[in-house]
């Protein structure tokens, strides 16, 4: 008996193991069936029905923006992209979800953008009460109404940009001094937003270098934020004690996001005793409206990162689209020549009062933002617990619904059969009703309602003035038209590099005004 006992024990163990394996398989099968059944009325790629594999495949190949658009075109305006995930290119639904009194809320997607795990910034904050309170305190500063030096700050950084171009990158004849506009434009937007925020630029343009390797590190880090946003499990892992200190940025870091956190911390500390500085800028407005020291540090860091990385894509794209279309370029040059002749500037920088009066320039900016939106992240919202009925179909509570920004902005029904073409004239030729329809859809790239982008006012000011000044002062061409730039989609944004330009002093304005 004793000799046979071990064998019997092994048999029992094998039997139990087999039962457990069968139970696990049964559980997974039931879970997959439940996942499918939950959103069975919505079609989508077969790989997305019961797993995250479809969206992970898009992240791996860095074509999420195109794939989301394709899915909405193939499966309908509300399509399935995951076990509990839908996506939509319906402007009305997107506006409804973000309305001030909407019962929808932010999903875990936003938590993946958090860089300080102990305190949410306004974008990552999912507690609706605190989010609305943060927006209330931040809005006056972002609007520019409490910063009398807003335009002056932008002017000074444009002057730095012009000085860099004039000194290092003016080509004459065969003497060519190419400039990587992708990198220099990044320096410009970083210096602008830090100056607007703190009254002091970081100094990328003056030094003409990637200060402490910030740009390089951020380009490497952004894909990690993307995976964390798509996979809540990743975001939970990095919060584990010990691991978070290894992977998350710190104000003590000498480069990358941590360097910006340290810069913001230092700037905020100057507003407190013993060497308190009072300054009417964004930070001053934040503190005046009740942000704590820690909150100001976190919001200032977000401001620099988000304010530069999105605006720079709009700046690069607008320059590229204009200089690669001779008809558009000529129209814009003539508009600028006429405007600057009628009201000669007191500064080399075109004043915003003039830039705002240039309809063709504004149409070019609008069209660039539409065709190449700086941000295209899913920005998923959660259906309220009681569920919702969308397009006649019930959606269970807790379902995540994401934005298909690329689909909204290239929708032929809204923007015409040539929606895939860069044509600024569409904004000038359409009726008032059509322009209103297009604007309503196009503005969704900035979010809407209680989730609308706070930095929109500053971004447009920056784009208008910089583009007007560059095209009024210089003739700009691509060094290699067959290879204009390298552009990669990451974290719902674009990372561009190697945009090499040949820049010359502009020919006489009188010649441009001639027919």
DSSP line for 415-468: H-TTTTS--TTHHHHS-HHHHHHHHHHHGGGG--GGG--TTHHHHHHHHHHHHH
Give which of 224, 215, 131 is closest to 180, Cα–Cα: 215
Q: What would the pLDDT profile of 116-149 be if each residue is shown by its tens digit?
A: 888 999 999 999 999 999 999 999 999 888 889 9
What's the pLDDT at 192?
A: 97
User: What is the SS3 assignment for 474?
Assistant: strand
**pLDDT of residue 340 exceeding 90:** no
Query: Residue 23 burial by CB count (10 A; 0-12/13-18/19+): exposed, middle or buried?
Result: exposed
What's the pLDDT at 392?
A: 95
What's the pLDDT at 23?
A: 55
What's the pLDDT at 30?
A: 47
Give me the mean pLDDT over the 192-217 stretch.
Answer: 92
Give me the mean pLDDT over the 374-384 stretch.
Answer: 93
Give me the mean pLDDT over the 406-430 stretch.
Answer: 97
CA 112 → CA 6, 227, 274, 319, 491, distances in Å? Answer: 51, 8, 36, 32, 10
What's the pLDDT at 5?
A: 54
Beta pairing partners, 84: none
**pLDDT of residue 179 exceeding 60:** yes
* Cα–Cα distance measured from residue 8 to residue 13, given in angstroms and rounded to the nearest whole number: 9
**Would you kindly state where each structural domain of the chain is located, as residue ranges?**
41-513
| Alpha-carbon radius of gyration of the chain | 26
Residue 453 annotated as binding site: yes
What's the pLDDT at 14?
A: 61
**pLDDT of residue 258 exceeding 80:** yes
What's the pLDDT at 514?
A: 44
Give which of 458, 423, 455 is closest to 438, Cα–Cα: 423
What's the pLDDT at 506?
A: 86
What's the pLDDT at 118?
A: 86
Give me the mean pLDDT over the 454-470 stretch.
Answer: 96
Give me the mean pLDDT over the 368-391 stretch.
Answer: 95
What's the pLDDT at 389?
A: 97
Let me know: does 313 contact 493? Beta carbons within 8 Å. Answer: yes
Give me the mean pLDDT over the 218-241 stretch.
Answer: 72
First to last CA, the chain: 110
Find the DSSP H helices in 90-213. Answer: 91-98, 128-143, 150-168, 181-198, 204-207
**pLDDT of residue 472 exceeding 90:** yes
**pLDDT of residue 24 exceeding 70:** no
Task: Name the band, by pLDDT with cuts 50, 70 and 90, for residue 20.
Answer: low
List the structure tokens of 447: 């979010």
**pLDDT of residue 211 exceeding 70:** yes
Q: What are phi and psi of 278, to 5 degrees?
A: -105, 120
CATH class of 41-513: mainly alpha
* Cα–Cα distance measured from residue 321 to residue 299, given in angstroms and rounded to the nearest whole number: 33
**pLDDT of residue 215 exceeding 50:** yes
User: What is the SS3 assignment for 271?
Assistant: coil
Could you tell me which residue, 338 or 6, shows the higher pLDDT? 338
CA 469 → CA 161, 321, 371, 442, distances in Å? Answer: 10, 17, 23, 25
Torsion over CA: 497, 407, 424, 158 (sign):
negative
- Mean pLDDT, the chain, rounded, equals 89
**pLDDT of residue 279 exceeding 90:** no
**pLDDT of residue 427 exceeding 80:** yes
Q: What would the pLDDT profile of 51-74 be if each residue is shown by its tens digit?
A: 889 998 998 899 999 999 999 999
Task: Name the band, by pLDDT with cuts 50, 70 and 90, for residue 510.
Answer: very low
Q: What is the DSSP letter of 479?
A: S
Give me the mean pLDDT over the 331-343 stretch.
Answer: 88
What's the pLDDT at 35?
A: 56
Percent of the chain with pLDDT over 70: 89
**pLDDT of residue 502 exceeding 70:** yes
Give me the mean pLDDT over the 439-446 stretch.
Answer: 97
What's the pLDDT at 185?
A: 98
Could you tell me which residue, 113 or 432, shows the higher pLDDT? 432
Let me know: does 279 contact 272? Beta carbons within 8 Å. Answer: no
What's the pLDDT at 115?
A: 82
Q: What would the pLDDT profile of 61-110 be if each residue is shown by its tens digit?
A: 999 999 999 999 999 999 999 999 999 999 999 999 999 999 999 998 89
């Amino acid at each position: 008996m004793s000799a046979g006992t071990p064998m019997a024990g092994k048999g029992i163990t094998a039997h139990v193991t087999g039962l457990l394996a069968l139970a696990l398989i049964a559980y997974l099968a039931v879970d997959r069936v439940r996942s499918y059944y939950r959103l069975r009325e919505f079609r989508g790629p077969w790989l997305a029905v019961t797993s995250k594999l479809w969206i992970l495949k898009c992240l791996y190949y860095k074509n999420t923006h195109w794939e989301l658009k394709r899915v909405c075109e193939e499966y309908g305006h509300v399509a399935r992209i995951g076990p509990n995930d839908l996506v939509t290119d319906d402007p009305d639904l997107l506006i409804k979800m973000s309305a001030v009194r909407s019962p929808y809320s932010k999903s875990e997607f936003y938590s993946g953008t958090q860089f300080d795990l102990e305190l949410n910034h306004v974008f990552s904050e999912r507690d609706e009460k605190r989010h609305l309170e943060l927006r209330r305190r931040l809005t006056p500063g972002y609007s520019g109404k409490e910063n009398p030096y807003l335009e002056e700050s932008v002017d000074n950084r444009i002057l730095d940009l012009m000085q860099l171009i004039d000194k290092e990158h003016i080509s004459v004849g065969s003497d060519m001094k190419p400039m990587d506009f992708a990198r220099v434009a990044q320096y410009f937007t970083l210096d602008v937003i830090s100056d607007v925020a703190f009254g002091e630029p970081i100094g990328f343009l003056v030094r003409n270098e990637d200060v402490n390797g910030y740009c390089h590190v951020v380009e490497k880090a952004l894909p990690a934020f993307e995976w964390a946003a798509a996979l809540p499990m990743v975001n939970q892992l990095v919060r584990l004690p010990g691991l978070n200190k290894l992977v998350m940025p710190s104000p003590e870091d000498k480069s990358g996001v941590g360097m910006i956190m340290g810069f913001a911390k230092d700037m905020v500390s100057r507003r407190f005793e013993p060497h308190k500085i009072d300054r009417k800028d964004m930070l001053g407005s934040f503190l005046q409206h009740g942000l704590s020291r820690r909150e100001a540090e976190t919001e200032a860091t977000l401001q620099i990162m988000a304010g530069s990385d999105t605006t720079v894509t709009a700046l690069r794209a607008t320059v590229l689209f204009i200089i690669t279309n001779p008809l558009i370029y000529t129209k814009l040059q003539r508009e600028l020549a006429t405007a600057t002749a009628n009201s000669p500037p007191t500064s080399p920088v075109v004043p915003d009062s003039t830039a705002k009066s240039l309809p063709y320039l504004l149409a070019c900016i609008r069209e660039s933002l539409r065709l190449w939106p700086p941000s295209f992240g899913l920005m998923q919202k959660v259906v309220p617990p009681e569920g919702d009925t969308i397009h006649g179909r019930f959606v269970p509570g807790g379902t995540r619904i994401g934005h298909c920004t690329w689909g909204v902005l290239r929708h032929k029904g809204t923007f015409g059969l040539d929606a895939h073409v860069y044509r600024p004239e569409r904004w000038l030729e359409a009726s008032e009703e059509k322009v209103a329809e297009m604007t309503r859809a196009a503005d969704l790239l900035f979010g809407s309602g209680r989730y609308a982008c706070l930095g929109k006012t500053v971004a447009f000011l920056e784009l208008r003035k910089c583009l007007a000044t560059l095209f009024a002062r210089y003739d700009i061409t691509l060094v290699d038209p067959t290879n204009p730039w390298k552009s990669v989609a990451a974290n719902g944004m674009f990372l561009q590099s190697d945009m090499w330009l040949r820049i010359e002093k502009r020919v006489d304005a009188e010649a441009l005004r001639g027919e």
